[in-house]
Chains A and B, each alone.
Chain A
Amino acid sequence: MRHIISILIENESGALSRVAGLFSARGYNIESLTVAPTEDPSLSRMTILTSGSDEVLEQITKQLNKLVDVVKVVDLSEAAHVERELMLIKVRATGKDREEMKRMADIFRGRIIDVTESTYVIELTGASSKLDSFIAALDAGLILETVRTGVCGIGRGDRILKV
């Protein structure tokens, strides 16, 4: 099962490696990981996309909570939440492909944020599956480079992760 774990962690040097080290030492998956400081600069918020059975997820949450720097842990995917991922994708845009790329970006509500004679950089935000579909919809030979941020997410309504 796919899970999104959100962590509030002290913004100390080495905090990221404690979390990453825990996952590798105990054989848990990290499919994506994003981290940045919150509105309180002494705290960072980390979002980890992982997978595993309920037992494994229970252990992941408990082990994360055991890290001294970790302040709070929630499994976002346990309840209503929204999630987004951002992708920048550089594509070849020459000849008839130039118009086709523009059209595809529009269909997926992407934005072209860099233009040269032969390339576009398209910015696309959405659920990870939408980004996957966009890649699948393009001619693979035209994709020059992709970069994705990994999933970040937040609980809906009154579900708030705060100290």
Chain B
Amino acid sequence: MMISGAEIVIRCLQEEKVDCVFGYPGGSVLHIYDALFKQDQVKHILVRHEQAAVHAADAYSRSSQRVGVALVTSGPGVTNTVTGIATAYMDSIPMVVLTGQVPSFYIGQDAFQECDTVGITRPCVKHNFLVKDVKDLAVTIKKAFHIASTGRPGPVVVDIPKDITAQMCEFDYPKTIQMRSYNPVVKGHLGQIKKAVQILQEAKRPVIYTGGGVILSDAAEQLTKLAHKLNFPVTNTLMGLGGYPATDKQFIGMLGMHGTFEANNAMHYADVILAIGARFDDRVIGNPEHFGEEKRRVIHIDIDPSSISKRVKVDVPIVGNVPDVIEEIVKLMDGGFKTDPEVANWWKQIDEWRGRDSLRYKQSEHIMPQFVMEKLYEVTGGNAFITSDVGQHQMFAAQYYKFDKPRRWINSGGLGTMGVGLPYGMGVLMANPDAQVACVTGEGSIQMCIQELSTCKQYGFPIKIINLNNGMLGMVRQWQEMFYSKRYSQSYVTSLPDFVKLAEAYGHVGMKIEKPEDVEPALRKAFTEHKDDLVFMDFIIDPGANVFPMVAAGKGLTEMILAEDI
């Protein structure tokens, strides 16, 4: 039977078991929206700005392992998605973005709402396509899902001209796809794995350093098993939080620019680093020259060969799917593996570093942001999905909310995109409808996608917005305080809205919390009495609170600045 290109698009989504798309209609996608209207298998979430559609699709994926899908129109619809696509790209999130394009016979003529979608998005996608023939439509969408979700995942854009969505064609969805130019390596090289096991056996000061790859490949279970067998300390990157239970005694906290004293020291002084699904980026190892001063051996497991030896020279590279490689290691260890007795002394050293309690903070008469995070953790029993924006609040959430499970910590690590928190909450709720979701944000970030309060009302997303309001762009202010002699250039906001009234204007519940003793009762109220409401909680926090420990940009991991009294 011949069906239209638009119907083919929807049929493809159904075949891929996509249950919802986030989008915004417009001229070039009207045929697709019409086809969407005639079915009820694929739900559509109408956002208020295309950027939010992509962020929501991104979080849908982050919180569920399924591919998120966004649908937008040509021209400005596309340009508005670029931030969202780049955000997903930097964190390797599988996502398919379907974009409308002007009719193919208008392309290149500066038609109304035309832009070079493939050109504009090329540097921030894993791959992109322009569909030029309706006969290629189904196979292109199949390829898009295949590429997005295999190997090192990433966003894929499919640009579909309007005339293609009107043309009629037989629908034939391929079951599998073969591409001679795209065959990611899955199985790790056994010889390399054997070498790795040997080195692990010889390690005297080992550390297991894991990143977002563990989350993306669903390897948390295997990682925990391996770490317990080895009894080595484990540190996570910002993107890796939840990949290993934060309440486990082997967990030494997040590392990097705002990592714990013990994690950064362990990473620096380790003689063997087992890096898994992590990429030694600048926020993690600081100055590579300083990092390179210590002699050590590095084992690196990653699905992406280009992540290996990119910033730090690796001794044993293992390219492959993380959970499979870990299983292989565990299997080899069953044949009489013994760790070096020196590791006990290493643990003593780590416990001494731990004793510094580098996340300690001083209470003040104001609400301390760290305190809000601790209470949020208590009140939600550690079970919430925490989305965050970017800045001090993000670091406080990462440091003080202990993630025991993967896919619960949803934030923009690589690109550092302010404004993602609220749309991320929407995406999490579409993938996990019964979840408790808190969006930890600040008065700066939340205003970057504030319009989505309207979407939240329409679909009844009961997100709890934890607005850590210090009237300052806190992280910018912190850097200016420390490195720019307190010249607070453009880092404060003098006319903030009344967030309580703003929330109410959108039909939500607003709360303003100004005293430390009110923090816990307010949170409890929000999560019980207002369980089904979106609650905007405006916490007026200590404006002077800073994030510590801190490794200044360009400094080495051991050159941490600690809070004054530590």
Binding site for B on A (CB under 8 A): 9-10, 13-14, 17-18, 21, 25, 55, 58-59, 62-63, 65-66, 68-71, 163
Contact = CB atoms under 8 A, between A and B. Distances in A.
A66 B304 contact: yes
A101 B43 CA distance: 75
A58 B311 CA distance: 12
Nearest to B307: A62
Given A17-B119, A17-B122, A10 B181 contact: yes
B126 A68 contact: yes
B127 interface: yes
Nearest to A63: B306
B436 to A, nearest CB: 38
Contacts of A59: 306, 310
A70 B306 contact: no
Interface residues of B, number: 18
A65 B147 contact: no
Interface in B179-194: 179-182
A65 B306 CA distance: 9
A63 B309 CA distance: 12
B305 interface: yes
A63 B305 CA distance: 9
Interface of A, secondary structure class, is helix
Interface string B323-355: 000000000000000000000000000000000
Nearest to B309: A58
Given A10-B181, A21-B123, A163-B180, A66 B306 contact: yes
A63 B152 CA distance: 13
B132 to A, nearest CB: 8
B309 A18 contact: no
23 contacts: A10-B181, A14-B119, A14-B122, A14-B130, A17-B119, A17-B122, A21-B123, A58-B309, A59-B306, A59-B310, A62-B305, A62-B306, A65-B306, A66-B152, A66-B305, A68-B126, A68-B127, A68-B147, A68-B181, A69-B181, A70-B181, A71-B180, A71-B181
A163 B180 CA distance: 8
Interface in B122-178: 122-123, 126-127, 130, 147, 152
A65 B305 contact: yes
A22 to B, nearest CB: 9
A66 B303 CA distance: 11
Contacts of B179: 68
Contacts of B310: 59
A15 to B, nearest CB: 10
Please indicate which of the listed interface residues B119, B152, B181, B310 has the most CB atoms of chain A within 10 Å of its own CB. B181
Contacts of B379: none
Top 8 A-B pairs, shortest CB-CB distance: A62-B306, A68-B127, A71-B181, A62-B305, A68-B182, A63-B306, A25-B123, A66-B306
Interface of B: 118-119, 122-123, 126-127, 130, 147, 152, 179-182, 304-306, 309-310
Contacts of A13: 130
Contacts of A25: 123
A59 B311 CA distance: 10
A99 to B, nearest CB: 51
Contacts of A66: 152, 304-306
A55 B309 CA distance: 8
B344 to A, nearest CB: 37
Nearest to B184: A66
A59 B309 CA distance: 8
A9 B181 CA distance: 8
A140 B201 CA distance: 67
A65 B308 CA distance: 14
A10 B305 CA distance: 21
A38 B119 CA distance: 25
Given A17-B122, A63-B306, A68-B179, 9 more contacts: A9-B181, A14-B118, A18-B122, A59-B310, A65-B305, A66-B306, A68-B127, A69-B181, A70-B181
Contacts of A55: 309
Nearest to A9: B181
B533 to A, nearest CB: 44
Contacts of B181: 9-10, 68-71
Nearest to B128: A14
A17 B122 CA distance: 9
A21 B119 CA distance: 10
Contacts of B180: 71, 163
A78 B147 CA distance: 31
A10 B182 CA distance: 11
A65 B130 CA distance: 22
Contacts of A68: 126-127, 147, 179, 181-182
Nearest to B182: A68
Please indicate which of the listed interface residues A10, A68, A70 has the most CB atoms of chain B within 10 Å of its own CB. A68
A138 B181 CA distance: 46
Contacts of A65: 305-306
B306 to A, nearest CB: 4
Contacts of B126: 68
Contacts of B130: 13-14
Contact of B122 (A10, A21, A62): A21
Nearest to A12: B129
B89 to A, nearest CB: 12
Contacts of A21: 122-123
A55 to B, nearest CB: 7
A61 B512 CA distance: 55
Please indicate which of the listed interface residues B126, B147, B180 has the most CB atoms of chain A within 10 Å of its own CB. B180
Nearest to A58: B309
